[in-house]
Amino acid sequence: MTRAVVFDLDGTLIDSLPDMTVSANTLLAEHGLPPLDRSQVAGFVGFGVRVFMNRLIAATALKASEYDTLLQRFMALYVQATDHTEVFPHVREALDALRDQGCVLGLCTNKPTAPMKAVLAALDLAEYFEVAVAGDTLSVPKPDPAPLKLAFEKLGATEAVYVGDSPVDAETAQRARVPFLLFSEGIRTVSLDEIPHDKLFHDFRTLPESVNALFASYPH
Ligand SMILES: O=C(O)COP(=O)(O)O
Ligand SMILES: [Mg+2]
């Protein structure tokens, strides 16, 4: 039996919206454009960096015809933007407790590999995860279920739970047919009751117990 818990990254384990906002605003400033606030940038997050850039262009006077150059510059900024990112409270103790309970841990994020690795290193989180599937690991990102299925397959999971913060994560879990735990304090632009979930949690101190309860109800 291998109990695997896979986590989304942005808005689930780390509060990265401030750094995404800084990166977007630096790009805008370089084009002589005014900054956006965090709540606007929150609406660009979830489907990976290509959709992020499309939405940023649509919301500002950045030019769609310069998409490739803009994306390249944004990625250069994004990969260095870790100073304003924090691990959510009690995440480390929850990860430690889950490992002590015998779970194997993985990541499935739509963040591209380079900024994912940079932020995991900056926050000293990488060692927790045996597998990390990023937004560019496969040709399709979430909500396609393939990245999440790959994470569980690599972990050799016989029992699985996905933990995330967004409608994209909920849809991915549903399509991969795994239970979904929804974190309420993440990067969200819709209300919690619009996001299908098996269990909602607000505080990482309660996560190990919720994961246990879900596994206990797992069909054997
Ligand atoms: O980069 C994004 O758009 C979202 O990243 P996440 O999947 O870790 O929430
Ligand atoms: Mg997220």
Measured from the CA of 45, which atom of ligand 1 is nearest?
A: 3
CATH fold for domain 17-78: DNA polymerase; domain 1 (1.10.150)
- What per-residue confidence (pLDDT) applies to 158? 96
Determine the Cα–Cα distance for residues 49 and 9; give it in Å rounded to an integer. 14
Whether 169 is a known active-site residue: answer no
CATH of 3-15+86-216, one of 1.10.645.10, 3.40.50.1000, 3.40.50.150, 3.40.50.1400: 3.40.50.1000
- Residue 30 CA to ligand 2 center (angstroms) comes to 27
Span 182-197, average pLDDT: 96
Question: Does the beta carbon of 109 lie inside 6 Å of ligand 1?
Answer: yes
Determine the Cα–Cα distance for residues 7 and 141; give it in Å rounded to an integer. 15
Question: Does the beta carbon of 105 lie inside 6 Å of ligand 1?
Answer: no
Tell which one of 109, 120, 171 to mutate to probe ligand 1, the residue whose CB is within 8 A of the most ligand atoms: 109
Could you report the per-residue pLDDT of 66-119, keeping only the tens digit for each? 999 999 999 999 999 999 999 999 999 999 999 999 999 999 999 999 999 999
Could you report the per-residue pLDDT of 23-76, keeping only the tens digit for each? 999 999 999 999 999 999 999 999 999 999 999 999 999 999 999 999 999 999
- Residue 68 CA to ligand 1 center (angstroms) comes to 20
Give me the residue spans of the domains in the chain. 3-15+86-216, 17-78
- What per-residue confidence (pLDDT) applies to 54? 98
pLDDT at 218 over 90: no
Instruction: Pick the residue whose CA is nearest to atom 4 on ligand 1.
Output: 46
180-183 vs 199-201, strand pairing mode: parallel
Query: Which pair of structure tokens corresponds to residue 104?
Result: 């194997």
- Residue 127 CA to ligand 1 center (angstroms) comes to 20
User: pLDDT category, 168, cuts 50, 70, 90?
Assistant: very high
- What per-residue confidence (pLDDT) applies to 219? 67
pLDDT at 217 over 90: no
Measured from the CA of 110, which atom of ligand 1 is nearest?
A: 7
Kindly provide the ipTM of the predicted complex, given to two decimals: 0.97
- Residue in 130, 137, 15 with CA at minimum distance from that of residue 81: 15
Determine the Cα–Cα distance for residues 193 and 60; give it in Å rounded to an integer. 30
Q: Is 188 exposed, middle or buried (0-12, 13-18, 19+ CB in 10 A)?
A: buried
- Quote the percentage of the chain above a pLDDT of 70: 99
- What per-residue confidence (pLDDT) applies to 220? 57
Span 162-191, average pLDDT: 97
Measured from the CA of 186, which atom of ligand 1 is nearest?
A: 9
Q: Is 166 exposed, middle or buried (0-12, 13-18, 19+ CB in 10 A)?
A: buried
